[in-house]
Amino acid sequence: MIPSTSRLRPLAADRVTILDGFWGDRLRTNRERTIPHGFAELGHSGVLDNLRLAAGMEGRYRASADSGGSTLPFVDSDAYKWLEAVGWELGRGAYPALAEAADEVIGLIGAAQQPDGYVNSFIQLGSGQPHQDLAWSHEFYCAGHLIQAAVAWHRAVGDDRLLEIAVRAADRIDAEFGPGRRDGIDGHPVIEMALVELTRVTGDRRYLALAARMIDLRGYGLLGDGRFGRSYWQDHAPVRDAAEVAGHAVRQLYLDAGAVDVAVELDDDTLLDAVRRRWDDLMHTRTYLTGGMGSRHRDEAFGDPYELPPDRAYTETCAAIASVMLAWRLLLATGDPGYADAIERGMYNGVLPGISLSGTRFFYTNPLQRRTERTFEPPAHGPRAPWYACACCPPNLMRLFSSWQQYLATSDASGVQLHQYTAADVRADVGGDPVRLIMRTDYPWSGRVAVHVVETPDTPWTLSLRVPAWCRSASITGPDGVGPGSAQSGAGRGATSSDWADIRARSERSEPASRAPQVTDRGMLQRTRTWRTGDAVVLELDMPIRVTEPDPRIDAVRGCVAVERGPLVYCVESADTPPGVPVEDLRWDASRQPAAEPRPDLGPAVVGVTVPLADGGTAGAIPYYAWANRDVEAMRVWLPLP
């Protein structure tokens, strides 16, 4: 992605390599277990059969049977998202099994595509009439995911088989819906982002114009009222006017991500400001402590401000993924480190819980509370599932993990910015000269991040390091020598060294509504100098256990507290409560302090928290992302005070 008018520039997929540690482990699981599992499920669920049948081959058309009797119109997108993930992976290495599987799927898509460029197995196997029911049909939505996969293959692998298919599909849509032709928008946004990327890849500005048109057509009732009202499909208010997020969370977030893409390409500050305004309101009034978004099951929607029930949180995994995509675009567009904070919170606590540690079981929704006694559940209904009839989330996780290294760092004319901390090799250009940095860290278990300069020009440039909003005290050592004897620069609590400038975030830092507002005046630590190969900087982010009180406007968690440490939100599972004490009966003892404890049972270096209970005992809290990986009945993030 190379946006035109962004404040920060992304680094190409091959410029950043995640080395090992927390994210290295997760990404290996993604490649070795999750993506192959996904391919198997594309087969079992009938998604590939749909494409085979649309291509005139033999197939069982299983997609309908697995979705409870009604075929879901968007199953093609499962394949496209999976292909996008594989594209990013093949950019990093030769994985013959993945490549072979992808070849098969690409072949099916190409064979299914009609001569006019149209491809959508649901319509081709059904009515045969394209674009008759844009409110529900997800045709542009599927095309959007096709384009996104094609862009990934183009950028990561230099393989344009998918891009040729995608261009034909996009041209087919443009021919019918381009400027001056039929007005059409999709009930489920996503194609807007994709079309902007297609312009960036091909240079053909027709796609950008079509995306802009699809943004501008919304809000005038083109799709009708439907069952859930116009906000469900983001047709209730013009995109430039709506002051608050509304309706289906994933659709709102995808739409706003596309709006940012259009805004930066067209230098459209009005549009960008509208998205920023909504994001700010969203963070302050409708975001869970976990970064999760979407409070309502009925229509997968945002609720009222401060309507954030922990038990019935919908907080779809895809919404957390979408929030990362949107926050990333806003970070690029503005440089505001608050958006990187949101990415961090969302990745660790909103996205990661959506997949098991094994990599092959998923959550569609991510509640912050599960009771010991529950309403009737079918016998086979466990807390995590290997796949879903509506399987949007699993391949969405795959593609985000496969491209996660692209979210770590950016560059601009003056230097390099490190937004997320994990062991990684980062290469960038500053003023046309190569810069290469190696990050070493045990993050998120430790707040110590060492940055080594491996390659640098002989001219001054600026290194910027994010200080997360949760961090109340940060110190930095170097680059003028690394070690205990070096100068300490206090980044928090007013102690800013003369070496490192503490750049206040441009906007007030946005923290989720589900925590008490915290005043923070930190943002990015910056140092401009002539760097030398071998220079090293060590950032120490203080990472005490934090006991978080909810915003008093959140009715659903009144009288409760939650535990956080570093970027992680914690929870208590029934497996870690005293014998015979259900999770519901736990009461937090505010007079005693929680304590860190190693939890090797959940992975190397994992830090758990022992929480004090009012009965004098304790319970073990684990990172929320790791919940439901053992045999558990109940869990809660917010613990009541006595």
Site of interaction with a copy of itself (CB under 8 A): 68-70, 224-227, 229-231, 236-237, 242, 244, 246-247, 285, 296-298, 301-307, 309-312, 369, 371, 373-378, 381, 553, 555-560, 584, 640
CA distance 48 to 145: 16
Nearest-10 crossing angle of helices 161-177, 191-202: 120
CA distance 570 to 32: 28
Q: CB within 8 A of 154, min separation 6: which ones?
A: 160, 162, 163, 201
Q: Which is nearer to a copy of itself, 231 or 402 (CB)?
A: 231
Q: How far is CA 75 from the centre of its chain?
A: 21
CA distance 570 to 577: 14
CA distance 439 to 431: 22
Closest approach, Cβ 68 to a copy of itself, in A, equals 5
Closest approach, Cβ 434 to a copy of itself, in A, equals 49
Closest approach, Cβ 431 to a copy of itself, in A, equals 47
**Positive or negative, the Cα torsion across 18, 22, 23, 26?**
positive
Closest approach, Cβ 144 to a copy of itself, in A, equals 24
Strand partners, 355: 362
Q: Which is nearer to a copy of itself, 369 or 405 (CB)?
A: 369
CA distance 316 to 319: 5
Q: Which is nearer to a copy of itself, 298 or 616 (CB)?
A: 298
Q: Which is nearer to a copy of itself, 105 or 513 (CB)?
A: 513
Burial group, residue 371, by CB count within 10 angstroms (0-12, 13-18, 19+): middle
Q: Which is nearer to a copy of itself, 247 or 623 (CB)?
A: 247
Closest approach, Cβ 269 to a copy of itself, in A, equals 24
Closest approach, Cβ 257 to a copy of itself, in A, equals 19
- Comparing CA positions, the residue from 130, 135, 132, 131 lying closest to residue 233 is 135
Residue type, 591: S
SS (H, E, C) 407-446: HCEEEECCEEEECCCCCEEEEEEECCEEEEEEEEECCCCC
Q: Is the peptide bond before 598 cis (omega within 30 degrees of 0)?
A: no
Closest approach, Cβ 374 to a copy of itself, in A, equals 5
Q: Which residue has the tokens 């760092």?
A: 409
Tokens of 505: 């975030």
Q: Are 609 and 561 in contact (CB under 8 A)?
A: no
Q: Which is nearer to a copy of itself, 210 or 319 (CB)?
A: 319
Q: Which is nearer to a copy of itself, 544 or 640 (CB)?
A: 640
Q: Which is nearer to a copy of itself, 247 or 346 (CB)?
A: 247
Closest approach, Cβ 375 to a copy of itself, in A, equals 5
Closest approach, Cβ 136 to a copy of itself, in A, equals 10
Q: Which is nearer to a copy of itself, 296 or 452 (CB)?
A: 296
Q: Are 284 and 513 in contact (CB under 8 A)?
A: yes
